Amino acid sequence: MYNKAIKYGALTGVLILLYFVLVYLIIGDIRDMTLASLQSLEMLSFVRYVLIVLGVYFTLSNVQSVEKNYSFIKLFKAGIVTSLIIALFVGVMEFLYLVVNPDYYEVYMQLFLETARTA
């Protein structure tokens, strides 16, 4: 059961990393970002949450279909293990992004303030 949770968690984490790289290549560097591209980035980032939910869902449905003697506790543990593996991948992704773009929060804050002023 835990092997499936780790496998699906790692698979979902890798999909999220690949999606992140694809979005980064499409949107570009944050220093060159405009208000419109920031809004596009925010909308595209919601896909990451859909991938996380789907990863946990497929883990639980697979454990449920394969295991003959499953209980709520087993499914709950599998969901927690999958979520922790995904969180590890997302944490590494966020850390690497901040290492590559150390001024991300300053640029994001300035773009956000521009949005607030124009609204």
Q: Both tokens of residue 97?
A: 């992004």
Q: What are the Cα distances from residue 39, in Å, to 43, 45, 96?
A: 6, 10, 22
Q: Both tokens of residue 37?
A: 């591209």
How many whole angstroms separate alpha carbon 1 and alpha carbon 26?
Answer: 37
Mean pLDDT on 1-8: 84
- Tell me how crowded residue 81 is: count the other CB atoms within 10 A of its CB: 20
pLDDT band at 119 (very low <50, low <70, confident <90, very high): low
Q: Both tokens of residue 105?
A: 């929060």
pTM of the model: 0.80
Mean pLDDT on 80-87: 94
How many whole angstroms separate alpha carbon 41 and alpha carbon 8?
Answer: 26
